Amino acid sequence: MPPANLPENETARLAALCQYNILDTPAEAAFDEIATLAAALCDTPIALVSLVDSTRQWFKAKIGLAVEETEREVAFCGHAILQPDLLIVPDASQDQRFADNPFVLDDPQIRFYAGAPLLTAEGHAMGTLCVIDSVPRDLSLEQAQALRVLARQVMTQLELRRHVKDLAQTVTQVTESERALQIAQATLESQVSDRTAALVQTNATLQVEINERLQAEKQLQQQVEHNRLLGAIAARIRESLQLDDILQTAVAEVRHFLQVDRVALYEIEVNQGGRFVVESVAPGCPSILGLVLHDHCFETDYAAQYQQGRISAIDDIEQAELSPCYREVLAPLKLRALLLVPIIFKEQLWGLLCMHHCSAPRPWQDFELSALQQLATQVAIGMQQAQLFQQVQQQAQREQLLNQISRALNASLDPNHILQEIVNRIGACFSVERVVVFALVAEQMQVLNEWRANDQVASLLHCRAPLNLWTAWLDPTSACYAPQLFQMPLLTAEQPVSTEPGQQPSPSLAVLHVPINIGDQFLGGLCLHTTASQHTFTADELSLLEQIAAQAAIALCNAQSYERLEQLVQQRTQALEQEKLRSEAANRAKSEFLANMSHELRTPLNAVLGLSQMLQRELFGSLNPKQQEYVTCIHSSGNHLLLLINDILDLAKVEAGKEELALLPLSVSKLCAYCLTLVQERAFEQGLRLISHIDPRVSFCMADERRLKQILINLLSNAIKFTSVGDVSLTVQKQPQGLTFTVSDTGIGMAEAQIPLLFQPFVQLDSRLNRRYEGTGLGLALARELAQLHGGDITVESTLGQGSQFTLYLPDEPPGLKQIQPVTNLLIPSPRRTLSQRQTASSRRILVVEDDIASAMLLQDFLQALGHRVEHWADGSNFLERVQLFRPALILLDVQLPHGITGFDLLTALRQEAALYQLPVVMVTAMAMQGDRERCLAAGATDYLSKPIQTVQIESLLSQYLSVT
């Protein structure tokens, strides 16, 4: 076989190897344990820590091999030290470099070899950590990475071994120096006593010499203190397994040793700056524990340098040349001197060991820098030990998990609750993002229960998969039924599944399936998914999950029994659903009848409400108190009747499927402000506080503006109505596929049994409430119908005596989305003025065309009371001639007129006259169905009013179209 080439730095490499003084030393437990761990992780019979000198390879630790050393020319490691990374030989008998090697042809008959070079900080390869097998094979990615990590641990032990020996030599040198110093001092004292006169003459020179000796002694004492500190901290790390204790000890000892104002550990958080997690502070120095710093320069300019071992020492920050960015970061710390040493944990920059001096500048000594570098290494070792201890604790937690699941099985008879408890507890114990239990249901695999680490992990709850994708579970000879568990790590996507609409399962990086069986019968399975990172499940985890699956089998068997019972219940539910459909058909017929009747009720209501309003305002004379009371009662009753008619009409249209939404993108902030403005007066009258909060992520929503306002005003009005003291709030929050409007109050609340009655038309929860709180019993029923028409819903949470919470959910894209252009010619209310102000305004001519005497009287009397000249026509005969003669500034025109002429006919004729084309015409009609307004505007009307009309609407018309000031 051809011998391996010598490394280019062979001379320097051999010199470095000699400095470790390791060759031909007795076995040491630390190296033997690493070799044992390497053999176990890589599943090989042989593992070696091999050191290569000029003529041989010598084994510092060996597992599975009896010899102490071999000749270098036949050593596999002679080739491995030439590599910057692992040397892997899957089959030596097929590799021309090793096929005729005596260790391949004879014992131990090497076939597989993998060696990781033991590299010093200067890049010299001292030897290898290698694993050997007598059968051809290869390493997994995880095994290869583990071998690299263990090789670095071997070098850490070699460095630590050398440092300990150097430390012993230093202590010996210091001891000898102290002894020599004592002798010199004794000699000096003898000379002083014998030669007092001579010393007086040379006192100045002697003082200088003494000072120099004292300074040397101080430096030696500092070196001894430095070595003592390192030894004490190293011993403390070996004694404690609690990371907090280790870190706190480190900062306290360092501050005592360096005599600085503050020592702290700064943990770096990726893309988020970092924070100070541990500190030791001198009296009078401010604490920075928990302080978060966002150093934007760190990632770009310094992180890579600290990763390579950079130390930053600044003696005087005020005099140092620092970037403006760095000075801005240091400003809150109020420092004069700074020393930063990196802490490398698992080959990554974990953080910085920070020495702060606040009172004055401070020069940093070389030996201090060296000491702190070694200390940072000791801290990293302590962190690794603490992590191993944490893994032991996790094992104890898993055993506790089994006990908790067992107690859950014994404490409940509800299989669904038990299965949910199982997935919840597994999720809390295992480092995964999703845990599911699935079962064989109706020839499909269906997910019954699920746990997710957070809302960003896609839900698989109720997902189904055809059985032909899972035939392995039904095959007794498949891996699913083998003694070992079935594991599929490092997947890039899951099997396709059939999900509910709108659900898309996220891909998993690792999946662990465990079958759930009772005897030979397959019931389902228990699945663990990782979606954030790759993961290989350990043997302990697999064993634990197998025990949990055995317990889950009992609960899943019970769940299938409940499934059969639910099928019987479902059949009965379907029969009831048919009965419900028949009942709904009867309700729709009733609603259609009421909608037709509402048109006939609006005309007389117009007179009732309008004339009662005029009486209330005493336009034609004062009323006595009893008359005012009667008129107020008439007007209130008329409004109540109008509200009832509107709600009945709206509910009938929705139930009959005649309601069409004008969906537009609406500003949520403006919408909420409008609704709150409408109810704020009543809230203030009752002494209530109105609160609103809008999620910053919410700007617009897609809805019918009029209907959404109707829903929100209804919910806000109800909240104010049933709240006597406290708050009423409106909260808007963004949801994954929509948004919610939540109206909360601190009112009377309701019992849970009453909630199902809330949305039934004409139903009051308590007949006694109807006497105290007015209402039609239709508002919530209509609001929910309108919400469902948007593709959303209204839900309720309430506690009797504490208040209620109504939540309106609207999807981002309502079903049947069809945007309609908004009508911009809307009637905008004008500021109200007193009667005297209106009477002093300019008198204008107004024409009223109305066949109903009561409605005409209402308009004519009110307009005349405002000082206008009003003319009333009961029909449209000679319309154009009379208009040209009267020359009105505004026409109020009814639609339904006698003698076969409609308001539309008169409007069409008017618009054909060029001189009258710009004349404002407002249609005043009892037509209040959907589309009536658009029909009037399309015919040429300037505006539209639906009866019954309010006096404030008339005033707004005058302000808008007559320019009354």
Q: What is the pLDDT of residues 381-412, one digit of tens each?
A: 878 777 777 777 766 776 777 777 777 766 66
* Per-residue pLDDT tens digits for 16-36: 889 888 899 998 888 899 989
Q: What is the pLDDT of residue 258?
A: 83
Q: What is the pLDDT of residue 337?
A: 93
Q: What is the pLDDT of residue 700?
A: 92
Q: What is the pLDDT of residue 766?
A: 55
* Per-residue pLDDT tens digits for 709-727: 889 988 998 899 889 899 9
Task: State the first-to-last Cα distance of the chain, in angstroms, to the nearest integer.
Answer: 112
Residue, of 680 and 410, whose pLDDT is higher: 680
Whole-number Å distance between alpha carbons of 487 and 480:
9
Nearby residues of 281 by Cβ (< 8 Å), 6 or more positions away: 255, 261, 262, 287
Task: Give the HSE-up count for residue 133: Cα atoms under 13 Å, Cβ half-sphere.
Answer: 17
Average pLDDT value for residue range 66-92: 89
Average pLDDT value for residue range 281-290: 90
Residue with tokens 């003698």: 899
* Phi, psi torsion values for 731, nearest 5 degrees: -120, 130
- Say yes or no to pLDDT of 221 above 60: yes
Q: Which of 126-130, 324-328, 476-480, 937-941 has the lowest mean pLDDT?
A: 476-480
Q: What is the pLDDT of residue 792?
A: 92
Q: What is the pLDDT of residue 861?
A: 86
Whole-number Å distance between alpha carbons of 556 and 562:
10
Q: What is the pLDDT of residue 639?
A: 67
Q: What is the pLDDT of residue 653?
A: 61
Average pLDDT value for residue range 169-188: 80
* Per-residue pLDDT tens digits for 350-386: 899 999 999 899 999 888 888 888 888 888 887 877 7
Residue, of 135 and 253, whose pLDDT is higher: 135
Average pLDDT value for residue range 647-667: 71
pLDDT tier at 827 (50, 70, 90 boundaries)?
very low
Burial pattern 77-113, b for ≥16 Cβ within 10 A else e, equals bbbbbeeeebbbbebbeebeebeebebbeeebebbbb
pLDDT tier at 170 (50, 70, 90 boundaries)?
confident
- Residue pair 833/877 in contact (Cβ under 8 Å)? The answer is no
Average pLDDT value for residue range 552-577: 72
SS3 363: coil
Q: What is the pLDDT of residue 489?
A: 42
Residue 819 structure tokens: 């945007």
- Say yes or no to pLDDT of 208 above 80: no
Percent of the chain exceeding pLDDT 70 equals 81
* Per-residue pLDDT tens digits for 474-512: 665 665 544 444 444 433 334 444 444 444 555 667 788
- Say yes or no to pLDDT of 591 above 60: no
* Per-residue pLDDT tens digits for 892-905: 999 888 888 898 99
Q: What is the pLDDT of residue 803?
A: 92
Q: How far is CA 381 from CA 50, 56, 98, 239, in A?
A: 23, 32, 38, 12
Q: Which of 400-409, 416-425, 767-776, 915-924 has the lowest mean pLDDT?
A: 767-776
Average pLDDT value for residue range 650-664: 68
- Say yes or no to pLDDT of 965 above 50: no
Q: What is the pLDDT of residue 697?
A: 93
Residue, of 411 and 833, whose pLDDT is higher: 411
Q: What is the pLDDT of residue 58?
A: 93
Residue, of 62 and 837, whose pLDDT is higher: 62
β-strand partners of 274 = 268, 293
Average pLDDT value for residue range 535-560: 74
- Say yes or no to pLDDT of 785 above 60: yes
Let me know how long the chain is: 965
Choose the most confident range, by mean pLDDT, from 286-290, 645-649, 728-732.
728-732
Mean predicted lDDT score pLDDT of the chain = 80
pLDDT tier at 88 (50, 70, 90 boundaries)?
very high
Average pLDDT value for residue range 603-623: 75
Average pLDDT value for residue range 403-422: 75
Q: What is the pLDDT of residue 500?
A: 41
Please give the full DSSP string across 666-706, using - where no structure is assigned: EEHHHHHHHHHHHHHHHHHHTTPEEEEEE-TT--EEEEEHH
How far does CA 428 lie from the centroid of its chain?
Answer: 18
Residue, of 689 and 180, whose pLDDT is higher: 689
Q: What is the pLDDT of residue 410?
A: 66
Residue, of 954 and 764, whose pLDDT is higher: 954
Q: What is the pLDDT of residue 375?
A: 83
Q: What is the pLDDT of residue 834?
A: 43
pLDDT tier at 804 (50, 70, 90 boundaries)?
very high
Percent of the chain exceeding pLDDT 90 equals 20
pLDDT tier at 418 (50, 70, 90 boundaries)?
confident
Residue with tokens 């480190």: 250
β-strand partners of 528 = 435, 512
Q: What is the pLDDT of residue 523?
A: 72
